[in-house]
Structure 1
Amino acid sequence: MIDMTTRTQSSISIGWSAHLFHVVLLALCFGFGQLACDPVLPDNGTKEKTKEATTNPDEGNTSRPEPKPTERHTPPEPNVEPRKEVPTEDIHDTSEVINEEQADAGQTTEQLPEPDQGTPDSPPAKLCGDVTFTYQGAATTVLVSGDFNGWKDSVAAGAYAMKNVSGNTWELKTNLQPGSYQYKYIVDGNWIKDPSNPKSAPDGFGGQNSVIDVPDCPKPTLKVTQHSTSNGSFTATLQFTPGQSGKGLNNISLATLDRVAVSGGSVTVNGDTVSVKLNSIPSGIHDLRLQGTDKAGEKTSILLLKIYVGVSTDWRDVTLYFAMIDRFVNGDTTNDKPLPNTPQILNYMGGDLKGLTSKIKDDYFTKLGVNAIWITWPIDNPDYSEPGMRPDGHKCGMGNNFPNMTNTAYSGFHGYWPANLNKIEEHFGTLKDLQEMVDEAHKKGIRILLDFTVNHVHKESDLWKKYKDKGFFNTPAKVCGADIGWDQAPETCWFVSYLPDLNYNNAAVRKLMLDHMVYWVKTIGADGLRVDALKHIAQVFIKQMRTRTTLEFEQTGISFYMVGETFSGLTADITKYVGKDQVQGQFDFPLNYQILKTFAKEQIGMNALDKAARKIMSDYGTDALMSTFIGNHDIARFISMASNDIYCDVWDILSNRAQSWTAPPKAPSTKSWAYAKLKLAFTYIFSLPGIPLIYYGDEIGLPGAGDPDNRRMMRFGSQLSKLEGETLTYMQTLGKARQKYEVLRRGALGPTLTATASVLVFTRTGKGGPAIIAMNRNNATSVTVNVSALGLKNGDVLSNVLGTETVTVSNNSLKISLGTQSSMILIKTP
């Protein structure tokens, strides 16, 4: 049992909570996001999932003590000197107080504060609460051990001893730094969870750790109690709650809309109540930032409030585009500084934030029907390349049987090697460039998602340099796939030897990285996150991330969408991290595998795809909002698979990466049938529930083998071939159709009307429906389908929203004529 008493309130809060081989793995296995070297194939694939070895000890079995968390999860923390307090919120100031000179330099106003470890000899600078641990039961000794004392197993080592206060009641009163902690009791040498605490988190051994949330010292806060948006006007009421001083609200010291100060009469203060009224707000996404100051001079954290005018707030209406910044558009040649002795495909190629902004302004995304862009994590990467190797040979099913290798070097162009958490990558531009890009996107009603690289840092990071021996990292290093299996220790293994893996079983690490996330979202004005390498992160952090984003960014009722990446063909691996207390969705890898097998390689029939897709979506349930895709930055390009220019299977990751060097495919400029396959695949995912993703270049059929060849520079306009230009035009038509017809975005997946190896006709039902999606991957054919169950009447006319054809209901049926490798989306003509 735990009791926490602060100076102002009483509460109980329990939270949910290198050797050559390594270098070879970098060259072949590292996808610069989540490692996809050993993807888990679906049940009908060619590989079996490696099960994680766990134990399931009986917590009450005194003859077999539960394994100590120190054995795997949290290395013992050495004693450290007392440190300054770490604030609960806002580890930096936000963007309004970053001056223009600093913004141009890509710098923030403050550096990351030194994180607190909460060790016994490091008392917090200010103690706002007492924590009381209580155990009921007969015992000789009872100890408390957890994140807060390095999981020590004895009093001599640093565990906290509980006192027998009466009979079988044991108690410990202590102070802890603010944060969320996991812990256990050690009763006569046996590790058990707190029997009186119902909240827990997996301990990694088949058992549970108890979880306690220790609140920060009370800070003054602003909270929205009412809000309304209508016809370009926004009104809100906010309530101020005093902090530790107990002083009331003095004024609103910061009030900006889209980084511009609002007029004085727009925000008024009456005691501790704040009223906001903004009129004539143009269409788009807007960021209102507010900060209050109390009569003691203490400031609230800056509040970021999202206002959508003429833009849907429903994430089901989103079409997502992944723009890898360095490979998209070069808009500023002054930051073109490739690293020495690094091959071009592995080097910085000149893409930057100004280039991306130019395409936003040119309506490139709007014409595609895209209203959300996932961008590279823009944080600074090392200013040098890392040594690696590349293959000189190629074969399918390589596994770990590497061919001959050649030395090479890799840069951090992809953004997955965060070295300075306080700075924007200079090859991408400045903080001012980043903010301008977000603001221009918001004017167009386009959301921005940041690629949150949270599993690790680069060895150049100050976090590693200062705290590598203090429990902040999973040490000693065990490289995934080399020293230990990918699924044996997914949360603790290192991707490569120079990317130290953060220890999220340490409460101080969780707090620091949550603050880091909140700061950058507030500074930039981001609307969501793509969370990299989700299965490699402790679930306690994922749950705290959801709690924190809800608290910080959803006060106007607009969801802050987080989509995770778990490279697996098994739905159970995907759903493990999705829920009301975790991420809202994940990228749909199980469906991607089926799509590539069906459309790119034509190894399975359309009927098999339909059956598999429905099973996959059933496994996910109706609350999950997954993102469907035909390609991403870890697999070979769809067009190259479709044109038979990729020699190996769709998820033969290592082999397809080797082909990047031995036989990179050319654009299939004479193979119109390959582009037809791509159009069919996109039509399919744009017609399904979920958020369809376009990986940059797939809208034109950009070719490529595996990583890094699947990250070629994007091409536009006159650089496109005839077939590429026609494909882009088709994608614009498809994207606009999805945006126009609500049933394609929000409708339920209706019945399948017919399914054969070559033809699939399925439906979406709901407002504006039904929609009938008819697809044919073979020669021209006609199909007749019964539509009596769809509420259509004889004489009803349905139009193909992708073309000019119409079809009329007769005898409760539709006769649909499909050309070779073609599709239709039929919707009733008003």
Structure 2
Amino acid sequence: MARLLRILPVLSLLSVIGCTDPPLESETTDSATMPPSTMPYDPSQGGGVTGYATGGQVDPTTTGDPTTGEPPPPMCDEALKRCAYEFTYPDMGETSVDVMGSFAPDGWSKGAAMTSDGTNWRVTVPVPWDTSVQYKLRIDGSMAWIPDPNNPDQIDDGFGGYNSVLQPMTCEEFTCEAASCAVTQDGGFDWRDSIIYFVFVDRFNNGDPGNDALTGVETAADWQGGDWAGVTAKIEDGYFNELGVNTLWLTVPMNNTSDDGLGTDGHMYSAYHGYWPTDLSQTEEHFGSLAELQALVAAAHAADLKVILDYAMNHVHITAPVYVDNPSWFNPNDNGNGGDCVCGAGCSWDGADGERCWFTDYLPDFDFSNQAARDYSIDNAIQWIKDTGADGFRLDAVKHIKIEWLLDLRARVKADIEPMSGQHFYMVGETFTGDKPTINKYVGCDKLDGQFDFPLRMQMAYNVLMRQGSMNELADFFDANTDYYNGGAAVMSTFIGNHDIPRAIHLAEDSPVWNNQWADGKDKAWNDKPGLPVGAAAFERLGLSFTLLYTTPGAPLVYYGDEVGMPGAGDPDNRRFMQWSNYSSGQSWLLGHIQDLGAIRAAHPALRRGSYARLGADADSLTYSMSGEGETVWVAVNRSDAGKSVGGLPGMALKDELTGEMVEGPSVMVPARSARVLVAP
């Protein structure tokens, strides 16, 4: 009996415009592959569709077929189109048959279960548009998977066996995967295309020494002179365009206190970081005037760069007029048991306490169950957008506010901002936790477009930088993570470094400075500070991490200075002033590598908008593909300190976009601590 494979007509068409909010999950974490660790908390801080031929072209998105009254076809990018295929296999007494493959992000891990009609096992699977699919059959749940015996198209799987191959195909009737809320369907900016650069303004570039003013605390925790004029200068110099980023995240723009504040480490700090706001309607005097911020945004837009403003909504400084004049808008610093309600001291960082605790005793916490307080804050956020022309927000400490604040902000943005701009306003949140359900709680079309993917960062740091566990673990994590947030519709920001953890280069050293990827690095923040690593290995490992970020779903983030592997322990040492010259050979290589990655990602839309599929993994290697937009890109990763043959690739000639070399699949030699990003020549 021959195995049958055919296209099925699609019985119902699904709309792509919009997205769905999945129900919250009951589990506490989805990080089973991550080793036990201490997780510190942040204390701060398209394709169009032609009209029907009825004597003239009409708009099928609004009218449908004028002769039959049938509903219009869906509208979506090719990367979201799916054709329905039926796999069949003769029933010879098996207890179960599953199709496992690259047709879905979790296709190799979960697969698609077939059902038997007594003669054949069958399952209909939506497969990606115009994209080859590799697959195998799993019989009776066996670990020994087999290629389809009746499909002659096979390629070496790189592990001594073969995968069956479905050749690229299109269909007249197709369904559409749920599109991200952050994807504008009418030609506007697609936030899946974003590569974000975090400009820590005070530590980046000093363009106007006239606004420098010190408070007298230790230099590492004092203002250091960076400002908006300095950022604008680097925009106009072409630094960001040459680096290959297209989105700038700027630190909080509103005016902060001039008072010092005691940190948890016993040192005094200034408000150089921007998270101690006082006058929410005025710009930070150390950064410049509103006119200078507007000039920065205008210069960025002229250079095809988007601008995201950091917005701190959880609290203000105790000297802020809004607190002095409206104390009822804030939670009392009272835990109800005779003590203060400071996060981690008197009150918990989590749960109901986490939404009312003060980060310190000089940072009053907004009570956003109070409608007047919420309205005031939302009005302020909307005014910053209108005043600056910013394209998005990075929202600080999301899990510490009432979710109603996010719902109200998104509604106001949709009503007041997007009709004027004609663009989707991107909002990404910070929830410093390894608990994926908590992160997901705040993501949805009526809330955040995405969040910073802390669980992914920690898994990558553990498996790639620190070389702990196996790359199989990372592959398993990717399988479960790719479509997790908002059912895969979120545009998460992926990263390896940020301002609340030690510089990533030190986890990549031959002997990592810290043995826990969650370490906050405060033990070396003031004394015994780490220096720049010597040799090439640490820089190559950090570069490999960026290769993974730039070739997997999400909006990758570059923390300022990480493009040259700047050293630094925990806060404030991880916020040293930007290094602009005198690079070591390792630093120069890393900078060039990230520039190359930016160019490769820009040249291949599959890397930005495609579907991820795992092709193979072992202790030290990982192979996967990104397919969509009419192309497939294959990535072969080797974390080990020696060259390694890595399989799972198609058996044909391939071009390595990183080196320009031609190689031949299904297995290729990948040098130590590196990857190959492969395309059909």
Is the structural similarity TM-score above 0.5? Answer: yes
Matched, 1:803 2:639: no
Of the three residues 470, 479, 497, the one matched with 2:342 is 479
Structure 2 partner of 1:772: 634
In the TM superposition, residue 378 of structure 1 has moved relative to its aligned partner by: 1.0
Query: Whole-Å Cα distance in 1 between the matches of residues 350 and 619 of structure 2?
Result: 35
Equivalent residues in 2 for 1:376-455, closer than 5 Å: 376-388=251-263, 390=265, 407-455=266-314
SS in 1 for 2:525: helix
Q: Aligned letter for 1:595? A: M
Instruction: Classify 1:572/1:389 alpha carbon distance in 2 versus 1 (closer, same or farther; 3 Å).
Output: closer
Q: Aligned letter for 2:193? A: D
Equivalent residues in 2 for 1:346-745, closer than 5 Å: 346-388=221-263, 390=265, 407-468=266-327, 470-476=328-334, 478-488=341-351, 489-555=353-419, 557-620=422-485, 621-643=487-509, 644=511, 646-653=513-520, 656-668=521-533, 670-716=534-580, 718-745=581-608
Query: Whole-Å Cα distance in 1 between the matches of residues 330 and 319 of structure 2?
Result: 15
**8 Å contact kept, 2:567–2:574:** yes
**8 Å contact kept, 2:553–2:607:** yes
Q: Which is worse superposed, 553-562 or 819-828?
A: 553-562
CA RMSD of aligned residues (A): 2.2
Structure 1 regions of 5+ residues with no counterpart?
Answer: 1-38, 51-307, 391-406, 788-793
Q: Deviations over 1:737-776 (max 9, x none)?
A: 10111111101112x2221111111100112421000111
Instruction: Classify 1:820/1:45 alpha carbon distance in 2 versus 1 (closer, same or farther; 3 Å).
Output: closer
Instruction: Classify 1:311/1:336 alpha carbon distance in 2 versus 1 (closer, same or farther; 3 Å).
Output: farther
SS in 2 for 1:762: strand
Structure 2 regions of 5+ residues with no counterpart?
Answer: 1-27, 41-183, 335-339
Query: Identity of paired residues, percent?
Result: 39
SS in 1 for 2:647: strand
Query: Whole-Å Cα distance in 2 between the matches of residues 354 and 531 of structure 1?
Result: 24
Q: Aligned letter for 1:328? A: F
**8 Å contact kept, 2:203–2:575:** yes
SS in 2 for 1:807: strand
Query: Whole-Å Cα distance in 2 between the matches of residues 679 and 690 of structure 1?
Result: 17
In the TM superposition, residue 40 of structure 1 has moved relative to its aligned partner by: 8.9
Instruction: Classify 1:596/1:48 alpha carbon distance in 2 versus 1 (closer, same or farther; 3 Å).
Output: closer
Query: Whole-Å Cα distance in 2 between the matches of residues 474 and 522 of structure 1?
Result: 32
Query: Whole-Å Cα distance in 2 between the matches of residues 681 and 600 of structure 1?
Result: 7
Q: Deviations over 1:604-650 (max 9, x none)?
A: 21111010122122322221111100011111111011113523412
**8 Å contact kept, 1:327–1:713:** yes
In the TM superposition, residue 728 of structure 1 has moved relative to its aligned partner by: 0.4
Q: Deviations over 1:537-579 (max 9, x none)?
A: 1011111111111112211542101001111112101111111
**8 Å contact kept, 1:321–1:693:** yes
Query: Whole-Å Cα distance in 1 between the matches of residues 442 and 402 of structure 2?
Result: 10
Query: Whole-Å Cα distance in 1 between the matches of residues 389 and 659 of structure 2?
Result: 38
Query: Whole-Å Cα distance in 2 between the matches of residues 454 and 371 of structure 1?
Result: 26
**8 Å contact kept, 1:642–1:677:** yes
In the TM superposition, residue 359 of structure 1 has moved relative to its aligned partner by: 0.8
SS in 1 for 2:372: helix
Q: How many residues align?
A: 500
In the TM superposition, residue 47 of structure 1 has moved relative to its aligned partner by: 4.9
In the TM superposition, residue 49 of structure 1 has moved relative to its aligned partner by: 9.1
In the TM superposition, residue 664 of structure 1 has moved relative to its aligned partner by: 1.0
Query: Whole-Å Cα distance in 2 between the matches of residues 428 and 825 of structure 1?
Result: 40
- In our comparison, the structure showing a higher alpha carbon Rg is 1
Instruction: Classify 1:41/1:343 alpha carbon distance in 2 versus 1 (closer, same or farther; 3 Å).
Output: farther
**8 Å contact kept, 2:529–2:568:** yes
Q: TM-score, normalised by structure 1?
A: 0.58
**8 Å contact kept, 1:41–1:48:** no
In the TM superposition, residue 312 of structure 1 has moved relative to its aligned partner by: 5.6
SS in 2 for 1:760: strand
Bigger share in strand: 1
Query: Whole-Å Cα distance in 2 between the matches of residues 565 and 40 of structure 1?
Result: 17
In the TM superposition, residue 408 of structure 1 has moved relative to its aligned partner by: 3.0
Instruction: Classify 1:49/1:603 alpha carbon distance in 2 versus 1 (closer, same or farther; 3 Å).
Output: closer
Query: Whole-Å Cα distance in 2 between the matches of residues 541 and 781 of structure 1?
Result: 51
Structure 2 partner of 1:823: 675
SS in 2 for 1:590: helix
**8 Å contact kept, 2:482–2:612:** no
Query: Whole-Å Cα distance in 1 between the matches of residues 514 and 667 of structure 2?
Result: 39
**8 Å contact kept, 1:625–1:690:** yes
SS in 2 for 1:322: strand
Q: Whose relative contact order is higher, 1 or 2, with alpha carbons under 8 Å and at least 6 apart?
A: 2
Matched, 1:46 2:15: no
Query: Whole-Å Cα distance in 2 between the matches of residues 41 and 713 of structure 1?
Result: 37
